[in-house]
Amino acid sequence: FTNIINALQAIDKTYSNSEMVRKILRCFPRSWMKKVTAIEEAKNLNVLPLEDLLGSLMTHELSMQKKDDDEEKEKKKKKKKKIIALKSSLIEDSVDDEELALITQKFK
């Protein structure tokens, strides 16, 4: 956006700060509408510096990315957990207590 604005200034076409702020806010997709609405209602767009707007949007983007990363990690964690159910039966073999204790230790 700033490259385009600078190129337009080179051919003597300039926009005011508030026009640039409004143009940026209009170009966002639907997923960003909550943030755009919050900025429009909380700030005076006539005096909001372009740098402040860009900083706010970049911060929001980073927090959204962090949240997505956290959700992805949580999904991977849940997939790794496996539940094992063992069927038990009563077998009367000649397994002594020491062998049973050894098997139990190895199982744990």
For residue 65, being part of any structural domain is answered with: yes
For residue 70, being part of any structural domain is answered with: yes
Q: Are the beta carbons of 54 and 25 closer than 8 angstroms? A: no
Q: Give the pLDDT confidence of 9-35 residue by residue, as tens digits.
A: 899 888 888 899 999 999 999 988 999
pLDDT for the residue 102: 73
For residue 1, being part of any structural domain is answered with: yes
- Determine the Cα–Cα distance for residues 47 and 18; give it in Å rounded to an integer: 7
- Determine the Cα–Cα distance for residues 54 and 58; give it in Å rounded to an integer: 6
Which residues are CB-neighbours of 22 under 8 A, at least 6 positions away? 45
Give the structural domain span for 25: 1-89
Q: Give the pLDDT confidence of 56-78 residue by residue, as tens digits.
A: 999 999 999 999 888 888 887 77
- Determine the Cα–Cα distance for residues 70 and 78; give it in Å rounded to an integer: 12
pLDDT for the residue 66: 92
For residue 107, being part of any structural domain is answered with: no
